[in-house]
Amino acid sequence: MTQDNIADNIIRLNNQQVPELGEPIDSLIATLENVLELAKSGRLQSFVGTGFTADGCRMAIWHATHSNVYAMLGSINWLEHEYVARTIETNGGQHP
């Protein structure tokens, strides 16, 4: 398997192929710039993030300086449910 076709082997749970990737996504860039500004200002003290790269690989990053691990876990759990709800809402009530 070459680096060029890794994404061809990724299939979503509903059996759809992952869409073509690689072009910059302005809304993603703006979101990351807003998060960076929060970090630079000192307001953001910990961070957990995940996403997929242009070749279809999962990327996960975290930086934790929060003193309460359970508060972070609660935030991660909330984000999981929020992500699913918004994804379903965006797809007209259908699972993606």
Q: Is residue 50 assigned to a domain?
A: yes
The answer to whether the beta carbons of residues 3 and 22 sit under 8 Å apart is no
State the pLDDT confidence band at 23, using cuts at 50, 70 and 90. confident
State the pLDDT confidence band at 30, using cuts at 50, 70 and 90. very high
| CA-wise closest residue to 95 among 19, 14, 20 | 14
How much of the chain exceeds pLDDT 90, in percent?
39
Q: Is residue 44 assigned to a domain?
A: yes
Is the per-residue pLDDT at 57 higher than 50?
yes
39: tokens are 């970090």
Q: Is residue 73 assigned to a domain?
A: no
Q: Is residue 17 assigned to a domain?
A: yes
Q: Is residue 91 assigned to a domain?
A: no
Q: What domain range is 29 assigned to? A: 3-65
Q: pTM for the whole thing?
A: 0.66
Is the per-residue pLDDT at 87 higher than 90?
no
Q: Give the number of domains in the chain.
A: 1
Query: Amino acid identity of 2?
Result: T
